[in-house]
């Protein structure tokens, strides 16, 4: 977690400096910026000092020295080991009684001030940027070995914010194809792109798929003056264009919302409930988060899907998505879905593949180990973001989730998604037989076979299904993942460990 601004010097050089909080004021309006991700405009009483204890900022500032900042218009901000405070230089600072703070989430701090000359309370939100170390490392590694890197994922998952940690939005090397100025600059793409050096970012590239042949030419120059990071929604058309024009030059990175390792083990319950989309996870309350996710689903089906070239009616896709939500964590049955929606099996499979292409649904394919046994041959399906699943099931809070009949399947899907995102296996399957033996995940990594079973219980124990999986699949190791906090062994090559530990969430 970081504010991602230029560090400022501390009052005591022996103390650790804190990242800068930039404040700009105009009369009674104050805009707060924490890094490049958050922008919240609030009302600042002209004759009031605002204070909040450093412990409220989750210990981040408790280890920092005393820092005083001054904006261009004279507003000051001060951080000490005891409290935050800021006031206008043009008025006499007023003594203000400190009010108790309320922590809304691990990353958003809600507090209020007691104005001296005005009545009532004003509310503020400061959102600290969640550092996505894993995704940043993946992009840096890809850029070292590939001339063009495609960062693909659903809207609002944080692609743009992540790209701006590499190239600022006001740089000539940054193009946002939803910005009219960037569109105008790319009216002559060769003249705009050929002179650039270093890293070039093109956001929403699916809006200008005609530039892919030019990118091939620019990526083949020797010596190579520029590399390209292209961002876009994972439309089938976009993937086809890139694979045809940039074969051998393009590396693709699939991106989703926050990982559990990004937000920390202490926020696991909230992350499970709200999902990983940044605006859903950092919403002020559960109701606000659910409202955002509901609106996201509606906008995605009614606007984004048609823009990606999908001609299926939004109402039909929503009914299909509701069916997927109820099949979450189960073996897919195309015939049953087809009868429910009055469509044929081929159309059902096409809809499912479409939702997979846009990173909304994950299909886990079955593994066939012993042809002499009757094994399940249909895929398992999961709604990839647990928050979207809960929105489809109309689950608003933790109590609703705990009482819902799909709570076990929801946690299994959440664990499966986090494990796959963290583990980066070469291949991932599930295994099941018609006799009832099953394994949630079979991963192939470094030439080893690793089994993962997800159990939402207090203390998982050895089961016949685990024994069958060890024997039939010839596993090198089997992990039983659960939401607890203690790790222990069940048998040789079988252990129980917390999900947070498995995905390196601290």
Domains and CATH numbers, the chain: 22-127 (no CATH), 133-254 (3.40.50.300), 260-502 (no CATH)
Across the chain, which has 506 residues, the per-10-residue mean pLDDT values are: 29 33 32 31 35 34 34 40 35 33 34 34 46 91 93 90 93 94 93 95 86 91 94 68 74 90 93 95 94 93 76 84 93 90 88 87 86 70 96 94 95 95 83 86 89 94 92 92 94 94 86
Q: What is the pLDDT of residue 114?
A: 35
Crossing angle of helices 212-219 and 236-245, rounded to 10°: 40
pLDDT recorded at residue 244: 67
Question: Where does residue 218 rank: exposed (0-12), middle (13-18), buried (19+ CB within 10 A)?
Answer: buried
By the 8 A CB rule, do 422 and 294 touch?
Answer: no
The pLDDT of residue 370: 63
CB count, 10 Å around CB of 82? 14
In angstroms, what is the C-alpha Rg of the chain?
A: 25
Q: What angle, rounded to 10 degrees, do the helices at 334-341 and 345-357 form? A: 100
Kind plus residue range of the DSSP H or E element containing 25 = strand 22-26
Distance CA 362, CA 67 (A): 47
Gap between the terminal Cα atoms of the chain = 12
DSSP state of 284: S
Task: Check whether the bond before 223 is cis (ω within 30° of 0).
Answer: yes
> Whole-angstrom Cα distance, residue 259 to residue 162?
14
Between CA 452 and CA 407 the distance in angstroms is 19
Q: What confidence score (pLDDT) does residue 373 get?
A: 56
pLDDT of 5 reads 25
* pLDDT recorded at residue 101: 35
361-366 and 380-383 as β-strands: parallel, antiparallel, unpaired? antiparallel
Task: Determine the Cα–Cα distance for residues 170 and 366; give it in Å rounded to an integer.
Answer: 47
Q: Is the pTM of this model over 0.95?
A: no
358 vs 26, 134, 309, 392, 410, CA distance in Å? 43, 21, 12, 17, 20
Q: Report the alpha-carbon angle 57-63-67, nearest 5.
A: 85
């Amino acid at each position: 977690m970081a504010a991602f601004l230029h560090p400022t010097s501390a009052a005591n050089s022996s103390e650790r400096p804190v990242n800068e909080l930039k404040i700009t004021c105009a009369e009674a309006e104050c805009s707060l910026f924490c890094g490049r991700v958050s922008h919240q405009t609030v009302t600042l009483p002209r004759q009031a000092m605002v204070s909040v204890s450093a412990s409220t900022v989750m210990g981040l500032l408790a280890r920092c020295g005393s820092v005083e900042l001054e904006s261009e218009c004279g507003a000051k901000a001060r951080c000490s080991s005891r409290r935050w405070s800021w006031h206008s230089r043009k008025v006499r600072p007023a003594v203000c009684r400190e009010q108790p703070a309320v922590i809304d989430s691990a990353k958003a701090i809600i507090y209020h001030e007691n104005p001296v000359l005005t009545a009532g309370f004003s509310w503020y939100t400061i959102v600290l940027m969640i550092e996505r170390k894993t995704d940043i490392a993946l992009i840096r590694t890809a850029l070292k070995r590939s001339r063009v890197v495609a960062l693909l994922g659903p809207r609002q998952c944080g692609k743009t914010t992540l790209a701006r940690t590499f190239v600022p939005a006001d740089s000539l090397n940054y193009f946002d194809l939803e910005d009219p100025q960037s569109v105008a600059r790319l009216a002559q793409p060769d003249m705009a792109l050929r002179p650039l050096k270093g890293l070039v970012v093109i956001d929403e590239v699916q809006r200008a798929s005609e530039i892919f042949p030019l990118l091939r030419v620019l990526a083949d120059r020797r010596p190579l003056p520029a590399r390209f990071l292209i961002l876009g929604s994972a439309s089938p058309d976009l993937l086809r264009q890139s694979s045809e024009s940039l074969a051998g030059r393009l590396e693709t990175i699939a991106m989703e919302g926050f990982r559990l390792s990004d937000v920390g083990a202490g926020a696991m319950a909230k992350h499970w409930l709200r999902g990983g989309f940044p605006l859903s996870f950092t919403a002020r309350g559960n109701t606000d988060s659910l409202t955002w996710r509901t609106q996201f689903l509606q906008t995605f089906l009614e606007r984004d899907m048609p823009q990606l070239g999908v001609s299926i009616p939004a109402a039909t896709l929503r009914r299909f998505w509701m069916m997927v939500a109820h099949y979450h964590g189960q073996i897919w049955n195309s015939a049953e879905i087809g009868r429910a929606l009055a469509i044929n099996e081929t159309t059902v499979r096409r809809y499912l593949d479409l939702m997979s292409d846009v990173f909304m649904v994950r299909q886990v394919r079955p593994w066939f180990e012993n042809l002499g046994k009757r094994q399940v041959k249909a895929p398992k399906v999961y709604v990839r973001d647990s928050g979207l699943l809960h929105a489809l099931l109309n689950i608003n809070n933790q109590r609703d989730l705990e009482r819902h009949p799909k709570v076990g399947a929801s946690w299994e899907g959440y664990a499966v998604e986090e494990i796959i995102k963290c583990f980066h296996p070469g291949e991932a399957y599930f295994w099941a037989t018609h006799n009832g033996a099953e394994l949630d995940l079979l991963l192939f990594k470094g030439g080893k076979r690793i089994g993962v079973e997800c159990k939402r219980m207090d203390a998982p124990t050895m089961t016949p299904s685990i024994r069958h999986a060890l024997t039939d699949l010839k596993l090198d190791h089997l992990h039983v993942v659960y939401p607890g906090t203690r790790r222990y062994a069940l048998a040789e090559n079988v252990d129980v460990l917390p999900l947070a530990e498995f995905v390196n969430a601290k």
